[in-house]
Chain A
Amino acid sequence: MMEGLKAVIEALIFASDVPINLDRLADVLEDVDRKDIRDCLRRLVQEYQDESRGFCIVEVAGGYHFRTKHEWSPWIKKLKKGKPASLTPVMMETLAVIAYRQPVLKAEIDKIRGVDAGGAIRRLLEKKMVRIVGRKDVPGKPIIYGTTRRFLEVFSLKDLSELPTLRELKELQE
């Protein structure tokens, strides 16, 4: 019976366009015990890790998804031919500030980086790495920014807490 459940979960993860979380799985599977779902997930992840497969199940952005393994990336890049537009250093720095300081204002980002971050923010918005969280209730009603689920997905993060803390990063520098 568990084998059947494992197969269903595997199929659901495959079919899902986005990382699928435990809640969603439980929703779909209705009467199944959450503990059983978790057990199956654990076994599935393990199985894919152990075997020399081309892809595995990863936990990212709060859910589970199939992804190719890092070591095969050169082949897949060949398959996909065109290089995807990567993020420039300016965008990466801006993104780092937003990720750690969210919810954050453009003015605050400008101050930390010492340059106007407007262009970078706009491009990050276009790429869906960053979103508008709201507006601050002060004169001018400046926009408040935060990162998106897409950001977590792109950088293979389970959630924001997986980011190294600023203190850890500071220690790395010394």
Chain B
Amino acid sequence: MIKFNLNGKDVEVNLDPSSRLLDVLRNHFNLTGPKEGCGEGECGACAVLVDGCIIHSCCFPLANVNEKEVVTIEGFSTTKRYQTLAQSMLEEGGSQCGICTPGMMIAAESLLNQNPKPTDEEIRIGISGNLCRCTGYNMIVKAIQLAAKKGDGLW
């Protein structure tokens, strides 16, 4: 039995501990915000937070979340920090097709958790594990800058 906190709720699952966390989230908990883009930890579309830090759930065995806090985009989207980031993404045009966006939001949250006032370069490094084929990243970088400014004190 694996016990963890998922989006603020304590949960228990009796599944193969070597299952990919991504599959457990999508299939068992019906949380389809995390996406599978590459299945090998390159693209970051499957990103979720484990104890506040970004991980690629496609390469993360279920066993590793035992007794930990897992937050997916579904959980993150109930927070004030999310609202600030979402609004900044809207204003700067940081989302196009949207498939990378939930992972990108998680990457931004993870970055701002560690570094509430990142420089342009630090943002680029912070989201470099998340691939986006639509935007060329600049509008996402600007959105994170804007969120850091507008959300002063939130992170």
Co-complex (A, B): no
* Residue positions of A touching B, CB distance < 8 A: none
